[in-house]
């Protein structure tokens, strides 16, 4: 719920109006909805307000050599950070970020900076820390490169009939069965055409659509959701179902707020 505060939504609307042309170009270039881009930047840094104050070189050195469980991963990030000094014109010795060495508006780790950052304003420098235009384009590029499917809804609330859902809920959040198979197990997505619509999270998709069944703890107890490949794409940014759900819910709030502010 911390990500759904009205102040964060309002900040997102202001950021969206300031960078409206850039967001439009990102949508057209990469096929990623502006509300998803905005939600990522909003969750990660509250639109640039909190990018982290740790020197990236210190954070990555500490984790690389004093945290054995993931030491090799962080040493790889440290190496990439110094490579960025030459390729992205950042100062590896002074740039700051999170305690894990993630940097900029979208909190890219160094290897993601190398692989997915783009110079979206074509000024010759790819800067995700000081340039929100590059940050917007880079988040969109990240999602595009991880196979976001334009027009595909992210998730819908699920209705359960019987106990056939149990095996499906154990399969994880990567879509591995079709809506038809879910229906055969007594699991159906909330339809947007249902006169008794009780949630805005609904979809009406072909029976062949691949989905996953999520069992999440909501404010009123267990919640079940059917998630598509685009939900899985969000988890490629941060490998957490709860993170992806926060992004989805913030994106919906932002879309509604942007429509109201027209």
Q: Quote the pLDDT of residue 87.
A: 78
Average pLDDT, the chain: 95
Q: Is the pLDDT of residue 1 over 70?
A: no
Gap between the Cα atoms of 184 and 190, Å rounded: 15
Identify the pLDDT of residue 88.
77
β-pairing verdict for 177-178 and 210-218 = antiparallel
pLDDT score of 86: 84
User: Is 0.85 surpassed by the pTM of this model?
Assistant: yes
The question of whether 145 is a catalytic residue gets the answer: no
Q: Residue 156: is it exposed, middle or buried by C-beta count within 10 angstroms (0-12/13-18/19+)?
A: buried
Stretch among 28-32, 42-46, 90-94, 216-220 having the lowest mean pLDDT: 216-220
Per-residue model confidence (pLDDT) at position 161: 96
Q: What is the pLDDT of residue 194?
A: 80
Convert the pLDDT of each residue in 70-115 to its tens digit.
Answer: 999 999 999 999 999 887 778 999 999 999 999 999 999 999 999 9
Q: Are strands 210-218 and 187-189 parallel, antiparallel or unpaired?
A: unpaired
What is the percentage of the chain residues whose pLDDT exceeds 70?
Answer: 98
HEC sequence for 14-33: HHHHHCHHHHHHHHHHHCCC
Domain spans in the chain, listed from the N-terminal domain onward: 1-149+238-262, 155-227
Give me 68's structure tokens. Answer: 């054995």
- The string of pLDDT tens digits covering residues 131-141 is 999 999 999 99
Residues 173-182 have pLDDT tens digits of 999 999 999 9
Identified catalytic residue from 44, 83, 85, 223: 44
The pLDDT assigned to 2 comes to 66
Q: Which two tokens stand for residue 210?
A: 């691949």
């Amino acid at each position: 719920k911390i990500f759904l505060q009205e102040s964060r939504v309002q900040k997102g609307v202001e950021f969206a109006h300031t960078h409206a042309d850039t967001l439009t170009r990102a949508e057209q270039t990469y096929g990623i909805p502006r509300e998803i881009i905005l939600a990522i930047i909003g969750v990660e840094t509250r639109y640039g307000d909190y990018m982290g104050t740790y020197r990236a070189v210190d954070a990555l050195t500490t984790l690389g050599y004093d945290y054995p469980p993931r030491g090799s991963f962080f040493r790889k990030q440290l190496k990439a950070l110094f490579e960025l000094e030459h390729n992205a014109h950042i100062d590896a010795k002074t740039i700051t970020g999170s305690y894990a060495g993630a940097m900029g508006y979208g909190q890219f780790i160094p290897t993601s900076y190398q692989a997915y950052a783009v110079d979206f304003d074509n000024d010759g420098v790819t800067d995700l820390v000081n340039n929100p235009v590059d940050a917007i384009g880079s988040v969109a590029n990240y999602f595009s490169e991880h196979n976001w499917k334009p027009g595909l809804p992210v998730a819908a609330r699920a209705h359960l009939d019987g106990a056939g859902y149990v095996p499906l809920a154990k399969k994880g959040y990567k879509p591995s069965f079709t809506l038809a198979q879910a229906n055969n197990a007594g699991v159906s997505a909330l339809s947007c055409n249902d006169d008794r619509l009780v949630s805005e999270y609904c979809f009406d998709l072909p029976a062949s659509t691949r989905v996953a069944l999520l069992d999440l703890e909501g404010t009123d107890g267990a919640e079940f959701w059917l998630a598509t490949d685009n939900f899985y794409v969000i988890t490629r940014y941060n490998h957490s179902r709860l993170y992806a759900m926060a992004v989805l819910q913030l994106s919906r709030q932002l879309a509604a707020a942007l429509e109201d502010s027209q």
